[in-house]
Chains A and B, each alone.
Chain A
Amino acid sequence: MIEQAFLLSILSALAALIGVYLYRVIRGPTVFDRVLGLNGISTKAILLLVVIGTVYNRVEMFVDLSTGYALLNLVAALAIAKYLEERGVVECQ
């Protein structure tokens, strides 16, 4: 019972940290700030999925989900970085 309460408090703390990163994604002065904020959000989402798997005792399924999420984030971030590097525009208010 107390283990469930501890894991749920970890889940809420991670969700609050995602909200902090979302501030940077919305308010970021340049595009690169937004990309970095999305990278941090994806790291928090991976941790969140593993903790959810621990809560439901189904880690073997949720770990696969988090692996796929990490690979998807890698491809998306590299594509965005390459595109912005070719385009060469700094300010995007």
Chain B
Amino acid sequence: MILTQQLILGLLVGGLYGLAAAGLSLTFGVLRVLNVAHGELLMLGGYGTFWLFTLWHIDPFLSLLGVAPAMFALGLLLYAALFRFVVKAHEELRIKNSLLIGFGLTLVLHALAIRLWSADERSVTPAYAGAVFRLGPFAVPLLRLSSLVFAFAILAALHLYLAKTRWGRAIRATAEDWEAAALMGIPVGRTYLLAFALGTALAGIAGGLVSISYSISPSIGMEWTLKALIVVVLSGLGSLFGSFAGGILLGLAEAMSVVFLGGPYREVVGLILFIVVLVVRPQGLFGARA
């Protein structure tokens, strides 16, 4: 009974883990850049939705139409200012430097957010915030369910974009082998720029949904970076739906740990899973690299 209720909640939050991971997996898969500031970008998206709602009463789901392009633009800017220099190095140094740059970015964005918006926890509370959908004896919070559906829709749209369009194909080709892609006449630099901006926009949308269904504060960044990393390690790179499934798996695992070990250890279970998979299978549970 309690277990089922917890599993429902785990499933709902898992969709957001999946969306957060999809952005990280996209930039890691395409650019071979591990941006550990992904959680901070998510936090910024969350504040975008929060302020649009608080200042101008814009419906939080509608606000994503503004947040996503704004975060896309921020992604362009960050790539041009920082990560452009990182991708010049060979692969191993590239990952290491991107990790360090992401780490510096984490500190700056976190400190900036505290200065600008204080350390308070915030969340968006539209009129329909408390609505609950009854499924027999179980309660399904409507907002979280909508967030899950929304997250899935975004990933499906992105999947179509990557599969069907010219630039989408360029992104996939670059992820597979950037040198071959360059030889085929794909502008690798611009593809990187696009993929990074898309990853940032995904983080922003995930953040918006987090501020709707849960809460945000300047210090949520690290937690969400770790969640996204856990999911990426669980599900491997290269598949958006793999990330989504991995996210849901993590959500369910956390739910079980809440029931059997108690709430405080919720975060620990995912991390242990993460370390075990890292050591045993560095290529991820669901295998296939891009």
A binds B: no
